[in-house]
Chain A
Amino acid sequence: MKKWVKSFVFLLISISFSFGQDDLLDMLEETEEPTTDYAFATFKTTRLVSGHSVETNAAGVLQFLVGHRFGRVNAGWQELFGIDNATIRFGFEYGLTDNLNIGIGRSSFQKTYDGTIKWRFLRQKSGAENFPFTATYVATIFMDTREWANPDRENYFSSRLNYNHSLLLARKFGRTFSLQLMPSLVHRNLVKTMEDQNTIFAMGAGTSIRLNGSARFNIEYHYIPEGQIISLIGGEKVQNSLSFGLDFETGGHVFQFQLTNSRGMTERYLVGETTGSWLDGDIHLGFNISRVFTVKKPKSFKNEDDENI
C-alpha cells in the first residue's frame, strides 16, 4: 500500500514537473486576450487614380499633392501626344484626427479652387471586433474663378459653385486585392440648359491590386446613368470616366501614373465633365505626386528631431 502511494505521488510530481516544463510560449499564447486587427493599406494613398480612396492622413500629417493631366494622346506627335497641353492641380490635405481630414486645392483646368472634408467613419476590422468594410464620406465644394461666359447678363456668385458628395465603401480581400464602391452626387448650381440635371448621380467602382510592397495597379470607373446630362461639352458627348493607374511608393512619396479619358482631377470633373472616348483614343497621360510631412508627432515621440519619411 505504501509503495502504491509512493509511486502515485511520484507520478503526480512528474506530471506537475512536466507541466512546469510545458512550453512557455504556448502558455503565453493560450492565455492571450484577443485583439482587434484593423485592415491597413487598403490603398496606397488618399487617391485611387484621380478620385478619393477611403484612406485618410493620420492625425498631424500634412499631405502635399500635385497632379498633371496632359492633352489627348491622339493629338499626335506635333503636340507630343498631349504633353504640350498640361493641366495641373495642387493641393494640401491635413489629418485633424486619424479619421477626419480637411483639404484645399486648385486646378488650372477651369481655374477652380476646391475645399474638402473627408471622414472615415467605419473601419474594416477582424479579431475581437469584426466589421467587413471601411466607409469614408467625402464632400467637396468647387469654385470656378474664370471670367463670366456672358458678362452682360446678371451673374450670381452662386453660379460659380459646384458640389460633390461621395460615399466610399472599400474592402481589402487578403493582402493583394482591394475593392471600392463610390456612389456620388455632383451638384452644379448652374447648368447649360433646362434639360440638364443640376444634380447628377453616378456610381463609381474601383480596384487596387498589390504588385509588391511598393507598387500597385489601380482601376477607377464612374458610371453616369443616362438622361442626366443632355448638353454637349465642346461638341462632345459626356462619357463615363475610366482610368488605369500605377502607384509607386518610395517612403514618404507616392508616384501615381495613369491613363484616363478624364481631363480633370477631382470628382466634379470625373463625373459630368469627362468627354474623352477610350475607343477614339482620347486618352490622357497623367501623374500625381503625393508627399507627406509629419507636422505633429504622437506624444511618445515628441522629443525627436524633425525629419520626414
Chain B
Amino acid sequence: MIVTFIGLCLTVISQRQMTRTGTIQFFSETDVEDIEAINNQVSSVLDLASGEMAYTLLMKAFSFEKALMQEHFNEKYVESDKYPKAKFKGKIIGFSPSKLTAKPTEFKVKGSLTIHGVTNEIEVTEKLWKNEKGEILGETTFTIKLADYKIEVPSTVRENISETIEIKVKVNYEKMG
C-alpha cells in the first residue's frame, strides 16, 4: 500500500520540472533613455500533466546598469518593501508533453500576473522545447503597461521611463527528484 502511495507521489513529482535560476529581463525604451534590468534568480515550476505553470521572483533581485536606478525602482516604482515579489500562475492551452520536441514550439499561456500588488489576467505566447536530457526550456517576450499595475512615474522623469515595458523570460527547467 505504502509503496503504491510513494510510487504515485513520485509519478506526480516526476511530471514536474522546476528551476531557481530562470532569467527575466525588462526594457524601457524612450527617446531620452533606455533602461534595462536583469534578474537571474527566477523560480518557476511546470506541471507536465496539467500544463500548469507558476513563476515567482524577488523584485529586489533585479540589477540595473546604474545603482541609483535600482534604488529608485525598489523605493519609488514597485515599492519592494511593500510588495517584495512578482508572481505568475497560469496554464498552457492545449498542452501535452508529447507536443514537445527539440524544436521550439509556440504555445499560448493564459494566467494571472501579479506585480506591485496588482493582479491582471494576461495571455502570452511561449516557446517551449526539450533538450537531449529531457529538460524543458521556455522563452517568451511580452509587454505590460505600468498603469495596469498602478506603477506611477513622477512627471520629472516621465520622458525617461516608457509607459510600456517589454519583458523577456528565459527558463531551463530541471527534472525533480
Q: B-contacting residues of A (Cβ < 8 Å)?
A: 8-9, 12-13, 15-17, 19-21, 23-25, 27-29, 32-33, 35, 37, 40-41, 57-59, 61, 95, 98, 174-175, 213-214, 249-252, 292, 294, 297-298, 300-301, 304-305, 307-309
- Flag if A298 contacts B49 (CB, 8 Å): no
Residue of A nearest to B159 (CB): A251
User: In the bound complex, what is the Cα–Cα distance between A309 and B156 (angstroms)?
Assistant: 12
Residue of A nearest to B18 (CB): A28
17 A-B residue pairings within 8 Å (CB atoms): A12-B1, A12-B4, A16-B9, A25-B54, A28-B43, A28-B45, A35-B61, A41-B75, A61-B66, A95-B67, A214-B154, A250-B154, A250-B157, A292-B68, A294-B65, A297-B66, A309-B66
The answer to whether B89 has its CB under 8 Å from any CB of chain A is: yes
The B interface, classified by DSSP as helix, strand, loop or mixed, is mixed
Q: A-contacting residues of B (Cβ < 8 Å)?
A: 1, 4-5, 8-9, 11-12, 15, 18, 20, 33-34, 36, 38, 43-45, 47, 49-50, 52-56, 58, 60-61, 63-69, 71-72, 74-77, 79, 81-82, 84, 87, 89, 154, 156-157, 160
* Given A16-B9, A28-B54, A250-B154, 7 new contacts (CB under 8 A): A16-B11, A25-B87, A35-B58, A37-B60, A61-B68, A174-B81, A251-B160
- Flag if A20 contacts B1 (CB, 8 Å): no
Partner of A175, one of B5, B12, B71, B82: B82
Partner of B47, one of A20, A57, A298: A20
Please, which residues of chain B bring their CB within 8 A of the CB of A12? Answer: 1, 4-5, 8
User: In the bound complex, what is the Cα–Cα distance between A61 and B58 (angstroms)?
Assistant: 25
Residue of B nearest to A59 (CB): B67
**In the complex where A20-B50, A24-B53 touch, is A32 in contact with B43 (Cβ < 8 A)?**
yes
Shortest distance from the beta carbon of A7 to any chain B beta carbon, whole Å: 13
Residue of A nearest to B154 (CB): A214
Please, which residues of chain B bring their CB within 8 A of the CB of A175? Answer: 79, 81-82
Please, which residues of chain B bring their CB within 8 A of the CB of A16? Answer: 5, 8-9, 11-12
- Flag if B56 contacts A25 (CB, 8 Å): yes
**In the complex where A20-B12, A28-B43 touch, is A213 in contact with B156 (Cβ < 8 A)?**
no
- Flag if B87 contacts A213 (CB, 8 Å): no
User: Which 7 pairs from chain A and chain B are nearest by CB?
Assistant: A213-B76, A58-B67, A24-B54, A301-B65, A250-B156, A16-B8, A20-B12
- Flag if A307 contacts B33 (CB, 8 Å): yes
Residue of B nearest to A292 (CB): B68
Please, which residues of chain A bring their CB within 8 A of the CB of B58? Answer: 35
User: In the bound complex, what is the Cα–Cα distance between A24 and B49 (angstroms)?
Assistant: 13
- Flag if A40 contacts B68 (CB, 8 Å): no
Shortest distance from the beta carbon of A98 to any chain B beta carbon, whole Å: 8
**In the complex where A61-B68, A292-B68, A297-B65 touch, is A214 in contact with B45 (Cβ < 8 A)?**
no
- Flag if A19 contacts B12 (CB, 8 Å): yes
Partner of B36, one of A19, A37, A57, A301: A301
Residue of A nearest to B76 (CB): A213
